[in-house]
């Protein structure tokens, strides 16, 4: 009996230690720094660009976040579009967020430094 309890406890610990799923924009595209993002409800071609739920600061010190966990409950798949300084939109990186996450965050760090964007 104790053997089954030990196995169940070990499985629970492994599940708890598993890393959370995360989707990140690359900081750089060649020599061009990440400059902005868009979060879409569905494929970007559907043009359902979501507004941030929270925005603080501006310009080079901008912080924005999108609460997107509810989309998965509706059977929708969000997309993260990463845009880079001095590159046309056609060279943006698009990430399909195909694993459940709850939030996307964008943070700019100042002139000359790449921004960060992650959904987890």
Residue 88 maps to a domain: yes
Residue 62 maps to a domain: yes
Please choose, from the candidates 112, 116, 107, 117, the residue with its C-alpha nearest in 3D space to the C-alpha of residue 32.
112
Residue by residue, pLDDT tens for the chain (120 residues) are 444 443 333 333 333 444 568 999 999 999 999 999 999 999 999 999 999 999 999 888 899 999 999 999 999 999 999 999 999 999 999 999 999 999 999 999 888 788 999 999
| Cβ-Cβ contacts under 8 Å for 98 (sequence gap 6 or more) | 77
pLDDT the model gives residue 110: 83
Residue 68 maps to a domain: yes
Q: pTM of whole model > 0.85?
A: no
Residue 108 maps to a domain: yes
Residue 48 maps to a domain: yes
pLDDT the model gives residue 66: 98
Give the chain's domain count: 1
For residue 67, the enclosing domain spans: 21-119
């Amino acid at each position: 009996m104790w053997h089954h309890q030990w196995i169940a406890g070990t499985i629970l610990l492994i599940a708890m230690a598993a890393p959370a799923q995360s989707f990140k924009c690359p900081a750089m595209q060649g020599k061009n720094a990440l400059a902005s993002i868009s979060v879409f409800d569905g494929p970007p071609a559907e043009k359902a660009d979501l507004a941030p739920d929270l925005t603080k600061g501006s310009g080079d010190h901008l912080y924005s976040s999108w609460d997107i966990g509810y989309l998965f409950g509706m059977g929708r798949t969000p997309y993260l579009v990463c845009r880079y300084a001095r590159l046309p939109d056609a060279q943006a990186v698009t990430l399909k967020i195909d694993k459940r996450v709850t939030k996307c965050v964008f943070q700019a760090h100042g002139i000359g430094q790449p921004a960060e964007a992650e959904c987890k």
